[in-house]
A = this chain, B = another copy of it.
Amino acid sequence: MSSQRERAAFIDHLKSHGHRITGERLALFDEIFEQHRHVDAEELLAALHRKGHRISRATVYRNLDLLVACGLVRKQRLGQRRYLYEHIHAGQKHDHLVCRSCGRVVEFVSPGITAMQREICRAHGFSPDHHQFQILSLCAECVAASETQPSH
């Protein structure tokens, strides 16, 4: 499994911070590193239950925050009501294009935009290292739908 390195990093982080290595934590880690897309807490909870783990909702939320604190998972509100989580795949820094209507998320990489973001952050005294970037728009389907069935 390609997440062996991250799994070890997670376990190290737990140990070095005096946290315990529990079955729930490892199951959640495995689940989110199996998903190669943006998932919310409910989906993770449901997937874990489907696989026979008896883990509670509160534990999922708590340990997602822990994974974020480890730097292994990104937690974002991508225009929708729920937080979405994605595991960080080493090196590959990308940004998000989000459909404001259906919530669909597309990742993209644009070095040019990254450079501009840094510049804008710097110009306004924001950290150029912790930025994250979203474009919210309407995907082709939702544009088509809104043209068929006009605004209201």
Contact = CB atoms under 8 A, between A and B. Distances in A.
B128 A132 contact: no
A110 to B, nearest CB: 6
Interface residues of A, number: 38
Contacts of A113: 113, 116-117, 120
B138 A124 contact: no
- How many copies of this kind of chain does the complex include? 2
A48 to B, nearest CB: 25
A29 to B, nearest CB: 19
A118 to B, nearest CB: 10
A132 B99 CA distance: 10
B134 A136 contact: yes
Interface of A: 69, 76-77, 79-81, 97, 99-100, 106, 108, 110, 112-113, 116-117, 120-121, 123-128, 130-140, 143, 151-152
20 contacts: A69-B151, A77-B77, A77-B79, A97-B120, A100-B132, A110-B116, A113-B117, A116-B116, A125-B139, A126-B135, A126-B138, A126-B140, A127-B138, A127-B139, A128-B137, A130-B138, A130-B143, A133-B134, A133-B135, A134-B136
